Amino acid sequence: MARGRFISLEGGEGAGKSTQLEALAEALRGRGLAVVVTREPGGSPGAEAIRKLLLEGDENRWNPRAEALLFAAARSDHVEKTIRPALDRGEWVLSDRFLDSSLAYQGEAGGLGIEAVRDLHRFGSLDFLPDRTLVLEIGESEGATRARVRDGNAGDRIGSRPPSYHAAVDAGFKAMATKEPERVRLVDASGSQATVTARLLYALADLLP
């Protein structure tokens, strides 16, 4: 049995990841592929428990190093319990966020440094990487508007951080796309849902059977 493929969707707040994750999964299933949809932080029982610790509470609940360690711990369990077994069964795994979010949010915007966060991943998940990472790009004002519509006035600990933080996140994603162009692809998230899904499929064309 051929090994499955692991695809992560990334992007800033309001980029439409969750919507596109489901649309992309449906499109891939329409091509006869078995697809597992998951998310980070979370995706396994242990990682879902850590998700609550990360996203609930006030802004100062965790210092940046503790936050990065929690994400790395959740990811380690997610990879071992959910992602690798599905790939071994020949299934495609689509994840709403993965390592590149930690690199952009904690490494770049949080000031820990991308390599420091990557070192945690090397230890916790043996540097396991997606076959392709698709970063949804959208203008800052449109993304903020979408996020407000989605969340109302109360976002989670990370989503409610100031615009300067999220601008640094976007810069981090762009830097990773420049550094790893074969794995990380930037995808225009403007336009209709169907149009964006078509762009995502185009960005996966070389991996599709």
Q: What is the pLDDT of residues 26-44, one digit of tens each?
A: 999 999 999 999 999 999 9
Whole-angstrom distance, CA of residue 42 vs CA of residue 71: 9
User: Average pLDDT of 186-190?
Assistant: 96
Q: According to the model, what pLDDT value does residue 59 have? A: 83
| 155 band by pLDDT with thresholds 50, 70 and 90 | low
Q: According to the model, what pLDDT value does residue 169 have? A: 93
Q: Share the mean pLDDT of the chain.
A: 91
Size (the chain), residues: 209
Taking every pair of Cα atoms in the chain, the longest distance, rounded to a whole number of angstroms, is 48
pLDDT at position 151 over 90: no
User: Are 28 and 92 in contact, with CB atoms under 8 Å apart?
Assistant: yes
Closest of 126, 138, 125, 208 to residue 173, by C-alpha: 138
User: Are 38 and 96 in contact, with CB atoms under 8 Å apart?
Assistant: yes
Least confident of 39-48, 118-127, 136-145: 136-145
Least confident of 110-119, 139-148, 185-194: 139-148
Q: What pLDDT digit, counting tens, does each position of 101-110 carry?
A: 999 999 999 9
Q: Is the peptide bond before 41 cis (omega within 30 degrees of 0)?
A: yes
Whole-angstrom distance, CA of residue 194 vs CA of residue 63: 40
CA 143, 149, 152, 156: dihedral to nearest 10 degrees? -40
Closest of 11, 12, 1 to residue 133, by C-alpha: 11
Closest of 5, 47, 39, 3 to residue 21, by C-alpha: 39
User: Are 169 and 43 in contact, with CB atoms under 8 Å apart?
Assistant: no
- Find how far residue 93's CA is from the centre of its chain: 12
pLDDT at position 1 over 50: yes
Most confident of 13-22, 81-90, 102-111: 81-90
0.95 cut: is pTM over it? no
| 157 band by pLDDT with thresholds 50, 70 and 90 | low
> How many Cβ atoms sit within 10 Å of the Cβ of residue 206?
8
User: Are 64 and 112 in contact, with CB atoms under 8 Å apart?
Assistant: yes
Percent of the chain surpassing pLDDT 70: 90
Closest of 19, 206, 62, 175 to residue 9, by C-alpha: 19
Domains within the chain, CATH numbers bracketed:
6-203 (3.40.50.300)
